[in-house]
Amino acid sequence: MNSENFSISEKIVSPSYIRQGSQARRSHEQLIRLLLEQGKCPEEGWSESTIELFLNELAVMDSNNFLGNCGVGEREGRVASSLVARRHYRLIHGIGRSGDIAAIQPKATGSSLLNKLTNSVVLDILKLSGVRSVTSCFVVPMATGMSLTLCFLTLRHKRPKGRYIIWPRIDQKSCFKAMITAGFEPVVVENILEGDELRTDMEAVERKVQELGAENILCIHSTTSCFAPRVPDRLEELATMSAKYDIPHVVNNAYGVQSSKCMHLIQQGARVGRIDAFVQSLDKNFMVPVGGAIIAGFNESFIQEISRMYPGRASASPSLDVLITLLTLGASGYRKLLAEQKEMYTYLAQELKRLAAAHGERLLHTPHNPISLAMSLDGLQTQSGKSVTQLGSMLFTRQVSGARVVALGNKQMVSGHMFSGFMSHSEAYPHPYLNAASAVGITRDDVTLCIKRLDKCLKSLRKESSFCVTNAICLYRFTLISYPMSV
């Protein structure tokens, strides 16, 4: 209520109480003021009531909520279902304009503010998480893969001769398809084995660059977050090479914001060499629904070019989710989540190690990977060819989600390219293994339950192979057929 309405209220309820109520309101306004002024994630999280007050205020500024508006356009923010209107806080106009996904919409001042603030708050969080020199970013309502595609498409206009993308292998379909969809030819560089870890083969990368000719290479496409035993790419060296050969460098940082190691790699890469853009998922880093990504970089005008490549207005839903979430958590809340991720990583590693020992396996030594862990499954491989995949479906039916088993010798064709040893990031990794990850938001219960169920499954599989195949197991095998491995 404005001051006039507070004055009138003093005639209804005693002035001293109204004064206190109006003061209380001011303390919410004060939080909003700080956000508008600084464009940063507030240190302490906001209460739900401040957040909803703020979102209502934004909605009121959009023309579809004007009390006296009449609309004679083809896109007026009309909503047929009140369920839908409510779940979007009546912010209907999306973000951006036909020319630029980061642009301001005259019809939707509130949504425009939302968009600007989200990008600004997210930038602040990227800095806080370790990429201190990032200068620009924007949220885009597309998957990480499609966002990478958008980056590649933008680069095409700057490098008309670029046909190839140099890509240290990582066995995840969407980043591979991101290049295919954009119309480029991925040049897969196999990783090299160092101890248990799979790491970037820098020599092979340089060889490819020289072989194909720098000007024919659209960019280098590197990766931070990945499943063990692969570890983040050698970003500093790749960035240095990018600078040396004047080749753009795009980093797939899918779920790397949650890890100070991944963020540090990017920060260092940009300091010593060249990183044009780095792309990260919203859902995996900020615990929001699937569907958004952040495209960030160190050169504001290049990031803006990318934002101008998105033709049309876009869904504000992922922006709204991440803004609500970051305002709820506050910077301190997010830091706390990151600290817990680290703590749980240590706990998970220790428990897996213990379990592996008990079953004659071992936790692969992959200290460069700050999120994902792998435990060998050599025992299952020797006993029966199917036991490894069977373990996967057993875990699935026992509601252990996200655990991923990798057998030896998979081959898979992805968009015309044959991957040997698919899922293992390597043509011939020496062990079959199981992955488990300590990602942001994981709880102690998740780890404990997973270890317990995994233990039971391993015992049951060993018993089975010693004695006979029971009916129950046949069932697992059956469900296996319909259970794809690349969950």
Name residue 31's amino acid. Answer: L
98 is in an annotated binding site: yes
Would you tell me how many other CB atoms lie within 10 Å of the CB of residue 48? Answer: 11
Of residues 246, 309, 305, the one with CA closest to residue 274: 246
Task: Name the minimum Å distance from CB 25 to its own copies.
Answer: 5
DSSP codes of every residue in 9-50? HTTTS-HHHHHHHHHHHHHHHHHHHHHHHH-S--SSPPPHHH
Task: Name the minimum Å distance from CB 122 to its own copies.
Answer: 14
DSSP classification of residue 96? -
CA 115 to chain centre: 19
**What is the helix (H) or strand (E) element at residue 296, kind and residue range?**
strand 293-297
Torsion of CA 279, 282, 285, 288, to 10 degrees: -170
Q: Which residues of 211-237 are buried (b: 16+ CB within 10 A; e: fewer)?
A: eeeeeebbbbbbbbbbbbbbbbbbbbb
- Residue whose CB is less far from its own copies, 98 or 350: 98
Task: Name the minimum Å distance from CB 271 to its own copies.
Answer: 27
CB 102 within 8 A of CB 115: yes
- Residue whose CB is less far from its own copies, 54 or 298: 54
Task: Name the minimum Å distance from CB 202 to its own copies.
Answer: 26
- Residue whose CB is less far from its own copies, 312 or 409: 312
Beta strands of 315-385 (E only): which ranges? 372-376
308 is in an annotated binding site: no
- Residue whose CB is less far from its own copies, 24 or 468: 24
- Residue whose CB is less far from its own copies, 239 or 288: 288
- Residue whose CB is less far from its own copies, 39 or 379: 39
Task: Name the minimum Å distance from CB 204 to its own copies.
Answer: 24
Burial of 96 (0-12, 13-18, 19+ CB in 10 A): buried
Cα–Cα dist 37/80, whole Å:
36
- Residue whose CB is less far from its own copies, 39 or 430: 39
- Residue whose CB is less far from its own copies, 289 or 409: 289
Task: Name the minimum Å distance from CB 247 to its own copies.
Answer: 19
97 is in an annotated binding site: yes
Q: Given the structure tokens 């011939």, which residue do they identify?
A: 428
- Residue whose CB is less far from its own copies, 93 or 199: 93
90 is in an annotated binding site: no
Task: Name the minimum Å distance from CB 477 to its own copies.
Answer: 12
38 is in an annotated binding site: no
Name residue 102's amino acid. Answer: A
Cα–Cα dist 310/301, whole Å:
15
Tokens standing for residue 271: 């300091």
**Would you call 407 helix, strand, or coil by DSSP?**
coil
Task: Name the minimum Å distance from CB 16 to its own copies.
Answer: 5
Peptide bond into 42 cis (omega under 30): no
Distance spanning both ends of the chain, measured CA to CA: 51
Strand partners, 420: 411
CB 444 within 8 A of CB 347: yes
Task: Name the minimum Å distance from CB 214 to its own copies.
Answer: 20
Q: Annotated binding residues for substrate, as ranges? A: 97-98, 105, 313
Task: Tell me the binding residues for pyridoxal 5'-phosphate.
Answer: 75
* Binding residue numbers: 75, 97-98, 105, 271, 313, 398, 463
Pick out the residues of the known binding site for tRNA: 271, 398, 463
